[in-house]
Amino acid sequence: MAANDPASAARLEEAARRMGLSLQAGQKEALLGYIALLQRWNRTYNLTAVRDASQMLVQHIFDSLSVVGPLQSELHKRGSGDAARVADIGSGAGLPGMVLAALNPGWQVYCVDAVEKKMAFVRQAAGSLGLSNLHAMHARVETLTPLDADVVVSRAFASLADFAILAGGHAAANGSLLAMKGREPLDEIQALEDTEWKVARIEPVTVPELNAQRCLVWMNRRQGNL
Ligand SMILES: C[S@@+](CC[C@H](N)C(=O)[O-])C[C@H]1O[C@@H](n2cnc3c(N)ncnc32)[C@H](O)[C@@H]1O
């Protein structure tokens, strides 16, 4: 499958529709263009384990799209919907940050990863795809100046407690953490007791064409007001 063939575009449009999202032509182009770039870079730099374009579409793009609606609703409730700051920690090749930036041009999205070649890819992708709101930051998250984000998100980064300890300082005073997980990580919740963060809610999500459980774990500071 080529990343930019009409069949992929149709699958993308249908998956987005099922998640309550309507994609503009430029957004579809950016998402499919991202897969093409990732395939090209993967040949040399081995950025992700998923190498097939069809699987990338589902496991990377559809999965990342599943967080867009819930994030938009949450940020809208707080009044920061159109001009939010979102940090994606342990972003790897830019997931979900790249997808968030493509669908929300008003947001500033900061992808952070400790591996330089991954951030070089995100920087290059942001330039090629015209995503001026997507920022690549090569750093260990715990050493970075606070990003003051409305929401700090992560996918496949760390346990809830490690995420909270390493990245919690990048959330603004009223900010939240959002971990994208598989099944509900009940075994990870207890360890959060030793941190300043608590689970606010767990939201199940359905990812089209993905035969696996997914959920979103929202966390706020113990004295917070999510
Ligand atoms: C399993 S990958 C997930 C990548 C991406 N979020 C995804 O879903 O495809 C975890 C990433 O976290 C990064 N990472 C691990 N510890 C880190 C730290 N302390 N600071 C920044 N990045 C870190 C790794 O370099 C790796 O790219």
CA 113/CA 70 separation, integer angstroms: 24
Summarize the annotated binding site for S-adenosyl-L-methionine as residue ranges: 90, 95, 141-142, 155
| Gap from CA of 25 to ligand 1 centroid (Å) | 30
pLDDT tens for the chain, residues 1 to 226:
555 689 999 999 999 999 999 999 999 999 999 999 999 999 899 898 898 999 999 999 999 999 999 999 999 998 887 899 999 999 999 999 999 999 999 999 999 999 999 999 999 999 999 999 999 999 999 999 999 999 999 999 999 999 999 999 999 999 999 999 999 999 999 999 999 999 999 999 999 999 899 999 999 999 744 4
| Ligand 1 atom at minimal distance to the Cα of residue 91 | 6
Nearest CA to ligand 1 atom 1: 156
| Gap from CA of 55 to ligand 1 centroid (Å) | 20
Please list, in sequence order, all residues whose beta carbon lies within 8 angstroms of the beta carbon of residue 226, skipping any fewer than 6 positions away: 176, 200, 218, 220
Long-range contacts of 78-83 (CB under 8 A, 24+ apart): 78/150, 78/174, 80/150, 82/106, 83/107
Instruction: Choose which residue among 65, 138, 157 to substitute to test ligand 1 binding: the one with the highest number of ligand atoms within 8 A of its C-beta.
Output: 157
Interface ipTM above 0.85: yes
Domain limits, the chain: 63-221
Q: Which CATH superfamily is domain 63-221 in?
A: Vaccinia Virus protein VP39 (3.40.50.150)
| Gap from CA of 89 to ligand 1 centroid (Å) | 7
Residue 216 near residue 153, CB atoms below 8 Å = no
Task: Tell me, using a 6 A CB cutoff, whether residue 181 lines ligand 1.
Answer: no
Transcribe 85-134 into DSSP letters. Answer: EEEEET-TTTTTHHHHHHH-TTSEEEEEES-HHHHHHHHHHHHHHT-TTE
- Its pTM surpasses 0.90: yes
Q: Which two tokens stand for residue 100?
A: 């968030």
Task: Tell me, using a 6 A CB cutoff, whether residue 167 lines ligand 1.
Answer: no
Residue 86 near residue 100, CB atoms below 8 Å = yes
